[in-house]
Chains A and B, each alone.
Chain A
Amino acid sequence: MTVALAMAATLADTGAVRIAGERAICDRRGVLYFPEFRLLAVSDLHLEKGSSLARRGTLVPPYDTGATLLRLQTVIADYQPAIVISLGDSFHDGGGAARMHASFRERLEGLMVGRDWFWVAGNHDPEAPADLPGDTVRELAIGSLLFRHEPSAVRVEGEISGHLHPCARIVQQGRSVRRRCFAGDGGRMIMPAFGAYTGSLNLLDRAYAGLFRRETLMAYMLGTERIFAISHSMLRPG
């Protein structure tokens, strides 16, 4: 517990935000932590994406599930959350959980022990993952927050979602940097995809049209050491 508080304190320097009044930390590893609720949110794990591609003849290395779980294990060890919410598309397809190697399943179940675990249904995994503990929900309200997979078309204060895999790009003097990012305008937040093989979609894409108040929209870009908060006006497409 003290560990978690210390961690939160150091990170507050860079990744601290408020969403509908609730205090949260955008962790540069791509998870969102709410100290008041001891709640950790992670989105778009896309576990077993590798084997899903392999089924269709693209034999990418079968290590993505292991890599994703290892990173998840690290952040969970750091924050020791009481509640974990996996914000949908936790598995790349409906058969993912069943295909998962026994060793990975054990590791995942190990992470779930002693805490409340919610699987939010996503478009890739609308059903509850086979034979895994945890509660499967369509959406989940906690305090003034609402957790769901896809951002709603109408603006909902306090909504935390994923699905779109946001990334942001800035250009200066003919050079450019592109990173995954959290996207938030103070009212709602869209989380970056966490999975090892997940791609990303630029925040300026039409898919995000109308979701945010432009004046206050910020991209919290994931750096190797810290989060970089970049205002909407500095972002570039591509």
Chain B
Amino acid sequence: MTEQLRLAEQKAAVVLPEPFVKWFAEKGWSPRAHQIELLAKAQGGQSVLLIAPTGAGKTLAGFLPSLTELAGRPRRRPGQAHRGIHTLYISPLKALAVDIERNLGKPVEEIGLPVTVETRTGDTPAHKRQRQKLAPPDILLTTPEQLALLIAAADARRFFEDLRYVVLDELHSLVTSKRGHLLSLGLARLRSFVPALQMIGLSATVAEPDELRRWLVSQNPPGPMAELIVVIGGAKPEISILDSEERVPWAGHSARYATPEIYNEIKRHKTTLLFVNTRSQAELLFQELWRVNEDTLPIALHHGSLDVAQRRRVEKAMGENALRAIVATSTLDLGIDWGDVDLVVHVGAPKGASRLAQRIGRANHRMDEPSKAILIPANRFEVLECRAALDANYLGAQDTPPLVNGGLDVLAQHVLGCACGAPFQADALFEEVRTAAPYADLDRPTFDRVIDFVATGGYALKNYERYARIRLNKDGLWRVSNPRVAQQYRLNVGTIIEVPALNVRYVQAGSRGAASRGGRVLGKIEEAFLETLTHGDTFMFAGKVLRFEGIRESECFVSNAPGSDAKVPYYGGGKFPLSTYLAEQVRAMLDDPQRWKKLPEQVADWLRFQADKSVLPKRDDLLIETFPRGNRYYLVAYPFEGRLAHQTLGMLLTRRLDRAGARPLGFVATDYALAIWSLADMGHMFRAKKPSLAALFDQDMLGDDLEAWLAGSWLLKRTFRNCALISGLIEKRHPGQEKSGRQVTVSTDLIYDVLRSHEPDHILLQATRADAATGLLDVSRLAEMLSRVQGRIMHKNLEQISPLAVPIMLEIGKMPVHGEADETLLMDAATLVEEAMGTK
């Protein structure tokens, strides 16, 4: 027995009540050191952050302080008033809350604890929610959105007055989004109700634990961070990259080449979890596997767009170990464990090393046995990325995105929520808000502008004073001006914006709806995708090839398209750009031929070929290649900064090249590279320094060019829409309301245009620009890159395309530039008409 363990046992005897010691013993377990340590710290009155890999008994550790305290509490006698909530558990997923209820039920029952545990989510029926208000459970399991609703209720302060602990699960995934901002404000509110409240954060490994430690406790004034307990991962996972017999393609995302090899792995294991990055990849892989599934193994499909009933069936079968393989997207991504998975296959690039660690944690939830995983790169750059991710995992490096300042749109929502709960005083609320880590740096003028926005829209033209949503009364308190405001708030709470989607319903081939209303609903697909289909187009969904029959109200009708190939592929684009850390690893690998030995031979050959024909970029350099092809001239840059930053760079460079007379025609961006094509010889222009590459890539492009481009960009309009919805400027659209809403609702694009031209400094535009910088445009990352490569740009003018350029050249024409309305399209159509009618 190690010294550490012995100490832990001694400590356990001190802090762990007798019935718990007995329970562990009956189970043949002993409490883990971190469980006891957490309990001791919590009993000492501190907030704690527990960082541990999946399977380390994190959940039990998180609840031990509550369970032991509740165990010692006298039972409520009949007639005695109900006690309030003792512990609040918050998770990012509804499913996780339900899962925890099941898992927690066991020790509670077996130890015989007088503890009630209940969930409260969007699915909880109204009568149960009402009952929970009157007779609250000791432990309430819920989501950030439900917390926001509870806080906006008139009885919030009373409801939470007995609260002792808040347990925050999967904290690392919560804090990086606007959901995290809203949650941090909710917790600040709870702290003001109950100053002694303790937070217990549960998280997977993160790069900067101190950020989370601060996040858990009040930052106004900044005191000591939450205590930290780190559990080092158990056995190292066995991860390999598929060394395929087949040729790894240059480009594409399907990994179709590896299907037979994947199938063989499925046959060799009990249960295989196959992860992909997008829904369309999931559909494709599922189809491909069934094509080769000679033994008709039970292989299932699971992604967020499928009908709920279908998903539940798959989850149930998985729990019963009735499946041999499940093809899944991120809906199964967080710490839900079901069944005995003995292999994880990751198809496509894992994008961020921490995502990889998370996904691999799925296999084999017993900590001491190694997890087993195979990475399947879909193309050659992904081979490099997989290799880098793999090295990163062995190094234990984790790269969750850095935390950003809290969104002002989220703050606006919270301010209104507070007013719905009880009248507030601006000074006090300002101090309270600044206790939340994301808002610790908020200044008073900005806060006052947010209040002004919530009250009357915050416009310079004071036209709306009489329509105020909240008003400052003589007693110095802000109050909701009328009960309808609170009602509206409750319908719109939260920061999750759903993309408009239509039900996909099965009908008989050729029927256009009316006669076949009874068909089964397969799931939901984004309206934007369906709108690009015409009658008869085929596409893949729910594991089937479907024929598009038409759209009727909020439903899309489809029929079976037996035996045919899907005509319309849909690549929604990887939602997660290549992380900064991985990008650096990939560049380092390119620069170090020694490391190529670990790569598959064909990929190493490809790099050698590149070294021969052109050059490989140095680790901190930016390589630019120029070459002619057909009657066009091409520029290919290799920044490895992710698709979003490249897209922004592409927009800005084409503007500059246009001014320099290069007559650029278009560009395409991937996670790794950017290609621009033009009519003029750019290689020649750069050599003549008209313009020089240094000038072209100068950081000043982030000034006026960015402003000018941003102004009309659909990306910014989309970002504005999210801010407008979250801040409560306009209401979220509800299904069914769409059609009748034409006269009532007003499109955010129109509001954006009007607001930008009349009041460019409005607080909502300020919030939009802040979002864009880190979100869809990734300007912050582009800025870092431009400053890094100053004086380090390497230009290679070539006679012909280089090996490294092949993948991106293959993407040209395949990747649509979504959303950017293009009048050339109209021009083409109009010309067709003119020709046909002989008017031209």
The answer to whether A binds B is yes
Listed in ascending order, the chain A residues whose CB lies under 8 Å from chain B are 49, 51, 53-55, 57-64, 66-67, 101, 124, 165, 169-179, 196-201, 218, 221, 223-225, 228-231, 234, 236-238
Q: Are A54 and B754 in contact (CB under 8 A)?
A: no
Residue in contact with B461 in the complex, picked from A62, A177, A228, CB distance below 8 Å:
A62
Whether A234 touches B829, Cβ cut-off 8 Å, given contacts A55-B467, A61-B459, A223-B823, is: yes
Asked if residues A177 and B822 are in contact (CB atoms below 8 Å), the reply is: yes
Whether A229 contacts B755 by the Cβ 8 Å rule is no
Given A66-B758, A170-B826, A196-B750; A54-B467 close (CB under 8 Å): yes
Bound CA span A234–B835, Å: 14
A-facing residues in B98-140 (Cβ within 8 Å): none
Establish whether residues A61 and B532, one from each chain, have CB atoms under 8 Å apart when the complex forms.
no
B631 at the interface (CB under 8 A from A): no
Q: Which 6 A-B pairs have the closest CB atoms?
A: A59-B457, A62-B463, A238-B531, A63-B758, A228-B830, A228-B826
24 of the cross-chain contacts (CB-CB < 8 Å) are: A49-B746, A51-B463, A57-B469, A59-B457, A60-B746, A61-B754, A62-B459, A63-B461, A63-B759, A165-B742, A169-B531, A170-B826, A197-B751, A199-B742, A199-B743, A199-B745, A199-B747, A223-B823, A228-B826, A228-B830, A230-B833, A234-B829, A236-B534, A238-B530
Q: How far is the CB of A56 from chain B (nearest CB, A)?
A: 8
Asked whether any CB of chain A lies closer than 8 Å to the CB of B485, the reply is: yes
- B208 sits at the interface (CB 8 A): no
Residues of chain A within 8 A (CB-CB) of B746 are 49, 53, 60, 197, 199
| Interface of chain B residues 786 through 840 with chain A (CB within 8 A) | 816-817, 821-823, 825-830, 832-834, 836
Minimum CB–CB distance from A50 to chain B (whole Å) comes to 8
B484 within 8 A of A: yes
A171 touching B730, Cβ below 8 Å: no
B488 CB–A CB distance under 8 Å: yes
Across the interface, do A171 and B531 meet the contact criterion of CB distance under 8 Å? yes
Q: Is the CB of A67 within 8 A of B757?
A: yes
CA distance A230 to B743 in the complex (A): 26
> Do residues B833 and A234 form an inter-chain contact, with CB atoms below 8 A?
yes
Q: Does B731 have its Cβ within 8 Å of any Cβ on chain A?
A: yes
Contact B729 A58 (CB under 8 A): yes
B342 within 8 A of A: no
**Max chain B Cβ within 10 angstroms of own Cβ: one of A54, A61, A225:** A61
B464 interfacial by beta-carbon distance below 8 Å? yes
> Nearest B residue to A165 by beta-carbon distance?
B742
Specify which chain A residues have a CB less than 8 angstroms from the CB of B456 in the assembled complex.
59
Alpha-carbon distance between A101 and B462 when the two chains are bound, in angstroms: 11
**Are B833's CB and A58's CB within 8 A?**
no
Q: B663 contacts the other chain (Cβ, under 8 Å)?
A: no
Q: Give every chain B residue within 8 A of A63 (Cβ-Cβ).
A: 459, 461, 754-755, 757-759
Q: Which residue of A lies closest to B743 (CB)?
A: A199
- Complex CA gap A170/B112 in Å reads 67
Task: Report A87 CB to chain B, min CB distance, Å.
Answer: 16
Q: How far is the CB of A223 from chain B (nearest CB, A)?
A: 5
- Chain A: minimal CB distance from B63 (Å): 42
- One of B459, B484, B757 near A57 (C-beta < 8 A): B484
CA distance A198 to B730 in the complex (A): 15
Known: A62-B457, A175-B822, A177-B823. 16 other contacts (CB 8 A): A59-B467, A59-B729, A61-B751, A62-B461, A63-B757, A124-B743, A165-B742, A170-B825, A175-B825, A199-B746, A200-B742, A224-B823, A225-B823, A228-B829, A234-B833, A238-B530
Question: A91 → chain B, closest Cβ, in Å?
Answer: 13
Whether the pair A230, B826 counts as a contact (CB closer than 8 A) is: yes
**Residue of chain A at shortest CB distance from B724:** A60
Shortest A12–chain B CB gap in Å is: 12
Q: Are B742's CB and A197's CB within 8 A?
A: no
Are B825 and A54 interface neighbours, CB within 8 A? no
Q: Which A residue sits closest to B762, measured CB to CB? A: A61
Does B307 count as interface, using CB distance less than 8 angstroms?
no
| Chain A residues with CB under 8 A of B729 | 58-60
**B731 contacts A58, C-beta separation under 8 Å:** yes
Complexed CA–CA distance, A49 and B826 (Å): 30
CA distance A177 to B747 in the complex (A): 16
CA distance A165 to B744 in the complex (A): 13
| A47 to B: closest C-beta gap in Å | 13
- Bound form: Cα–Cα A234–B745 in Å: 28
B555 at the interface (CB under 8 A from A): no
B744-797 contacts to A (CB < 8 Å): 745-747, 750-751, 753-755, 757-759, 762
Nearest B-chain residue to A14, judged by Cβ: B830
Nearest opposing residue in chain B for A60, CB measure: B751
Q: How far is the CA of A236 from the CA of B459 in the complex (A)?
A: 39
The answer to whether A175 touches B532, judged by C-beta atoms less than 8 angstroms apart, is: yes
A165 CA to B817 CA, complexed, in Å: 28
B729 to chain A, nearest CB (A): 7
Is B328 interfacial (CB 8 A cutoff)? Answer: no
Interface flag for B551 (CB, 8 Å): yes
Residue B568 at the A interface, CB < 8 A?
Answer: yes
Please give me the residue from chain B that is nearest to A92 by CB atom: B743
B537 CB to nearest A CB, Å: 10
Q: A171-B531, A175-B822, A236-B531 are in contact. Are A64 and B828 (CB under 8 A)?
A: no
B754 CB contacts on chain A under 8 angstroms: 61, 63-64, 67, 196-197
